[in-house]
Amino acid sequence: MPEIHPFKRLRTWTLRAAADQGQIIRVSCNLCRITHNYLPDDLEKLSGNLQLDRLLTKFKCDRCGKRDYLQMKLHFPHGSEYGSLKIRRLKDIRTVTVPVWLDDVLR
């Protein structure tokens, strides 16, 4: 059976599908050498049920602030990882108010 290219697999796979399969989304910055594990459920609350090939554009590295070195993988947790694998959980979603100014004349 031919090997399916990982990118094609991600394109047909969604956050909901990953959540249903018990998969973890693992995002690494190759510059800072940091990896965080996310639950697909948490990411779906933020961005909706995205296809996984579009998900990485939503991330930015906490440390270097760049997107260029980010890499995403799907991870199937092993039984021994339950209770020990570090997960970055969604604690809260804050809505920020941003002023939009328009320069006008006195009327």
Determine the residue type at 55: L
Q: How far is the CB of 25 from Zn ion (least distance, A)?
A: 17
Q: Indicate the DSSP class of residue 95.
A: P
Nearer to Zn ion by C-beta: 16 or 59? 59
Task: Tell me the H-state helices in 1-107.
Answer: 6-11, 15-20, 40-47, 52-55
Q: How far is the CB of 21 from Zn ion (least distance, A)?
A: 28
Both structure tokens of 35? 């990896």
Q: How far is the CB of 1 from Zn ion (least distance, A)?
A: 37
Nearer to Zn ion by C-beta: 41 or 59? 59
**Footprint of Zn ion (CB under 5 A):** 29, 31-32, 61, 63-64
67: CB partners within 8 A, 6+ apart: 56, 57, 59, 60, 61
